[in-house]
Amino acid sequence: METKETQVAVIGAGPGGYAAAFLAADLGKRVILIERDERPGGVCLNRGCIPSKALLHAVETIHETEASARRGVSFGEPRIELDTLRAWKDGIVAKLAQGIGFLAKQRGVEILRGRAAFQDSKSLSVEAETGPVTVRFEQAVVATGSRAVIPPSLALNHPRIMTSRQALEVTDIPGSLLIIGGGYIGMELGFVYSGLGSRVTVVEALGSILSGADPDLIAPVRMMARKRFHEIRTGTTVQSLSVADDQIRVVSQGPTGAPKEELYDRVLVSVGRKPNSESLGLENTGVKLDADGFIEVDAGQRTADPNIYAIGDVVGGAMLAHKAHKEARTAVENLCEENEPNAKAAIPAVVFTDPEIAWCGLTETEARERNIEVQVSKFPWAASGRAITLDRPDGLTKLIVDPETERLLGVGMVGKGAGELIAEAALALEMDATALDLASTVHPHPTLSETLMEAAEAYYGTAAHFLAKKAPK
């Protein structure tokens, strides 16, 4: 059996793993990055963030051109060439994956293709294409990510029942699509498929779609989804799925009444994700898992085994690519003894629906649940010149402020491009900015970024374009 020696072994080449491997190499370590898939990039690049955003952009142009007619500029009916759309999306993924491979080569990071499992706290066995390989390491970073959960009652193993992975392949445009789960993945894909022409129904077991976001931020998305989707049913669970000729028979139970039986052309199950922590040989190491299978880590991303760090979806928390990236930096800085464990950063969350929802830091709901006294200052986008020129006044920016110190505790937004705007809020929170800092920062006009400044001015009752009462002290 071939044996390779390295200082750092990283398992998984997703946004956590490749960021960790590259930083370790930049800091002078010899690194092997092990990936079982054909291409690097993980879920995010190959079957998550990037393909979903490409498809969302494509359908956004359909709605933009439709809305344009009332502004006096008309285009014809959209004609969707699915093969071309799929090739464009796949081309983006291939190009970015190639870029990761190229950047690895430039840094001298060896990408070893194969499935890795720990033999002990110092070595891994890898089923590589060329045969089994033992990789001996000084330190390892586990970045094996997560995968979609399909509850046993819904697991028919039938091509008409999809997870996000198959849905992003857009093999066809189903006439009717049931989405089980109204979280961000289900809702984003709902906007993709409804934009392409499917009759989309979303069922969500909880009382609201997109739970986790504040209700006032969800409201404009719900309103748009009601226009674009056939139906959204909350408080509803799917009891069974069965195959009925060319369709799927679905039995669901709403909050009242008898169970409902319906037929759909396709069903997308998006009810959650679980960590890829089994079959990794972790039992041969000191690494500990929690009850849900996530790897337990401290603030420096150290596991219970002194040689092994873990980052990204496999450690749980916000299962987002930029969280994985941040944890990669923390782990590598610690294993290179560059830094002491840093305090948890403010991790922004973005839902790429239409309009987008984004938030960072404390939400108003969390403040209420945790009995934290806050002042909430809001600026409606109907008062923003830029939002009106974009024909999208359906937005809101709000600040969650500590009334004692006037420090920003959280920022929430809904509106076109909110996902881009939230980065300013993340910086403000990292810098411990106050509402006054944000209000005194000159923002360019006319831009949507002014809504952050005006929400801060509104806190003091001085927003130029919105008459708001000064927050009581």
- Closest CB to ligand FAD among residues 307, 434: 307
93 contacts ligand FAD (rule: CB under 6 A): no
Sketch the per residue contact string, 96 through 125, with ligand FAD: x for CB under 6 A, - otherwise.
-------------------xx---------
Tell me the residue number closest to ligand FAD, measured at CB: 145
Q: How far is the CB of 218 from ligand FAD (least distance, A)?
A: 17
Q: How far is the CB of 267 from ligand FAD (least distance, A)?
A: 16
275 contacts ligand FAD (rule: CB under 6 A): no
35 contacts ligand FAD (rule: CB under 6 A): yes
Residue from the set 8, 49, 196, 428 that interacts with ligand FAD by CB under 6 A = 49
Q: How many CB atoms lie within 10 A of CB 3?
A: 9
Residue from the set 93, 241, 287, 320 that interacts with ligand FAD by CB under 6 A = 320
Touching ligand FAD, residues 184-213 (CB under 6 A): 185
Token look-up 């929430």 returns 412
- Closest CB to ligand FAD among residues 289, 319: 319
Count interface residues toward ligand FAD (CB under 6 A): 36
| Residue 158: active-site member | no
44 contacts ligand FAD (rule: CB under 6 A): yes
Q: Identify whether the C-beta of residue 471 lies closer than 8 Å to the C-beta of residue 459.
A: yes
410 contacts ligand FAD (rule: CB under 6 A): no
321 contacts ligand FAD (rule: CB under 6 A): yes
8 contacts ligand FAD (rule: CB under 6 A): no
The one segment of 21-29, 77-85, 173-181, 320-328 that binds ligand FAD by CB under 6 A: 320-328
- Closest CB to ligand FAD among residues 17, 395: 17
Touching ligand FAD, residues 143-182 (CB under 6 A): 143-146, 164
Residue from the set 181, 186, 220, 312 that interacts with ligand FAD by CB under 6 A = 312
Touching ligand FAD, residues 125-144 (CB under 6 A): 143-144
- Of the residues 57, 230, 445, 465, only one is catalytic, namely 445
280 contacts ligand FAD (rule: CB under 6 A): yes
- Measured in residues, the chain has a length of 473
Sketch the per residue contact string, 226 through 265, with ligand FAD: x for CB under 6 A, - otherwise.
----------------------------------------
Q: Which residues are catalytic?
A: 445
Binding site for ligand FAD (CB under 6 A): 11-17, 34-37, 42-44, 48-49, 52, 115-116, 143-146, 164, 185, 276, 280, 312-314, 319-322, 324, 352
